[in-house]
Structure 1
Amino acid sequence: MVARTLESTNKTDRPVAYTVLEMLLTYQDEGMTARSRGFGFDTNPFLVKERLPQTTGEPVGDWRQKAEAWLFGWLLENAWTTEFD
C-alpha cells in the first residue's frame, strides 16, 4: 500500500503528517468516544451539511472513507457497550 500523507496541525500549530490509515483510525476513535458518551450514530460529524462532499467539493470516495470510519468506531463501541448492559 502506498502511504499517502495528509497535512494537519497539532495543538502547537506545527504541521504533522498523517497517513490515511492513521487518519481513519483517528475517526474510528472519535466514533467510539461519541458512543461511549451516549451520542447516537446520527451525530456522525461527516453527515453535517457543511461537511458533505456536495458542499466541500471533496471527492465522494474520500468523504465516504471518513464517514464510514467514524461509524465503524461507533458500532464497535456500541457492540461492546450493549453486550454488558
Structure 2
Amino acid sequence: MSIPRIEIYTKFGCGYCYRAKQLFEAKGVAYEEYDVTMGGPKKAEMLERFPEARTVPQIFIDDMHVGGCDDLMDLDRTGKLDMLLGR
C-alpha cells in the first residue's frame, strides 16, 4: 500500500492548524503544509480545490477533502483516519 499524500493549508498562529499537525505528527505521518496567511497562489489553490473553504486548516488526503481540524479529529475518534492513512 502506498503512503498517502497529506496536504494542510494553514495560517500563522492558528490553534486548530497546530492541533491537526500535532495529530499527524503523533501518528508519525508526513504532511505538506501550505501557509496561506498572506493569501497568494496557495490560498487561490485551496479555494479552487474547495470553494466553500472559509477557515483553516483545510486538509486533503490523497486529493480527497477531509475538512478542518474538527473533521479530522472526528475521523480519528471513529477509526476512519487510520483507514485513510493505510493502517
- Bigger-Rg structure (1/2): 1
Say which structure is richer in strand: 2
Say which structure is richer in helix: 1
What TM-score do you get using the length of structure 2 for normalisation? Answer: 0.26
What TM-score do you get using the length of structure 1 for normalisation? Answer: 0.27
Q: Which has the higher contact order (CA 8 A, sep 6+)?
A: 2
